[in-house]
A and B are shown apart, each in its own frame.
Chain A
Amino acid sequence: MDNCALRPQQLARRLFFSVCVLLVFLPSRFVVADSALPQTVQLQAKPNRCVALHQGQVCYQDVVLSWHVDQASEYCLYQQHAEEPLHCWPAVSSGEYRYAFASDSSVRLQLVNTKTKAVVAETLVEVAWVYKANTRRQTHWRLF
């Protein structure tokens, strides 16, 4: 019975040991939790806005697209709904691409992991204009 009983010193040592074990393992458990969180990915377009004079005109802008992900892999940059990529990178975690933007409407750009086919980041290059089109195309006469 005495063998089973813990003396105060033993109790204190075990408690200290347990706390130490917790302190050692807790951070490692937090690290595991961190790796389970979504990756920090960034896809930036600079500038992200193109201004044409008149609505309907094609807007031209040299856009620098830069991206960064946590895990290196094969990535491709796509215009949304486009079949062909603008550019692809092999086994890297960041990249930069000079994009000769030319469109009469806003374009969404997507960074795709080619192994998983997942869209890991996206950004929008907006088209704006000074004068909106105010034209009605139908033929009509009017009298007051």
Chain B
Amino acid sequence: MLDQVVFIFMHTLFRAIVIIGLAAFGSLPLNCIAGDLSSDVRKGASGPDSGNGGYIEVGAGLTSYTSPMVGIPEGNEKSDVHTEIFLDINARYQYNGWFMELFSQSLEQFTMGYNFFNGSNAYHNDGNWALDWVALAEHDEMSAEESNDFRGLKKRRGDFMSGPRATSYLGNYIVQLHALTDISNTHHGELFSLKLARHWQYRNWNFHGIVGATYRSQEIADYYYSIDASEASEKYPQYNAPAGMSYVTEVGATYPLSEKWVFRGFIRRIDLDSSANDSPLILDDRGEMIATAISYVF
């Protein structure tokens, strides 16, 4: 009985995290925001979290989104609006430079890493730098087990990518660069992303904005979005996906209801290269999401 409860809880948790990640970014090529960037800008942080320790938050939220991806969620059509309740989990722990972080409102999923360097920016009094090595799942599995819409297509495995992550804190701005390569022998591709975030404080409200661009190599696009001859059908005709860019724009607000309760809300838009629409697995060249959540900070 306990096993069943634990299984149901873990399954619900995992599904909520995946839904937020996938919905926001349309699964693969749409992920462009690093977890800590999304989290730091929401907190109004002025530097990297470089000390030992951590925190965990658990809450509930409501989201409405459009997904440009076939099969995410199952039965998705172009411009369909999906509304769901989700479990909001935010957690970070760091010890002697090793860290792990999970922010369900971020574009990234669970991230592990090591913080090599923290430093002050010589050109800005308020500036701080952080250099990390990170490893994270960037792209989720696409298979008939995950969604019936993928029936008849070969299974595309989820990947695991790793590489340096550089973050600069310049006053109210945060700039972050990722350079990741596949280490899971899935597609052997590379991903580069650059994000700029800014936060504003108005009384005790913390507003933020994020813009970012992500480049995915042809190996990634081909693995997830091409349809090869062996799986081509009337519904999914043969297609060769080129390397491509995706862009994210986000604005949001965070408010401390008390020392333990935090309210968050955001609106996010993901834009894809116009050529992305040519893939039979992509319905639209953009996706939108609006979400609100209340979380308890332990």
Name A residues whose Cβ lies closer than 8 Å to a Cβ of B: 50-54, 56-61, 128-131, 133-144
Contact = CB atoms under 8 A, between A and B. Distances in A.
Contact of A128 (B47, B201, B254, B259): B259
A136 B262 contact: no
Given A51-B259, A131-B297, 20 more contacts: A51-B204, A51-B257, A52-B204, A53-B43, A53-B44, A54-B206, A128-B259, A130-B256, A131-B43, A133-B47, A134-B50, A134-B53, A135-B47, A136-B51, A137-B128, A138-B120, A140-B119, A142-B96, A142-B115, A144-B114
Given A135-B47, A136-B51, A142 B262 contact: no
B128 A53 contact: no
B116 A129 contact: no
Given A52-B204, A52-B256, A54-B45, A140 B51 contact: no
Contacts of B262: 53, 130
Interface string B236-278: 0000000000000000001111111010000000000000000
Given A51-B204, A54-B43, A136 B50 contact: yes
B260 A130 contact: yes
Nearest to A142: B97
A135 to B, nearest CB: 4
Interface residues of B, number: 34
Nearest to B201: A57
A63 to B, nearest CB: 13
B118 interface: yes
Contact of B118 (A52, A128, A140, A144): A140
Contacts of A139: 118-120
Contacts of B51: 134-136
A53 B203 CA distance: 10
Contacts of B96: 142, 144
B117 interface: yes
A137 B126 CA distance: 10
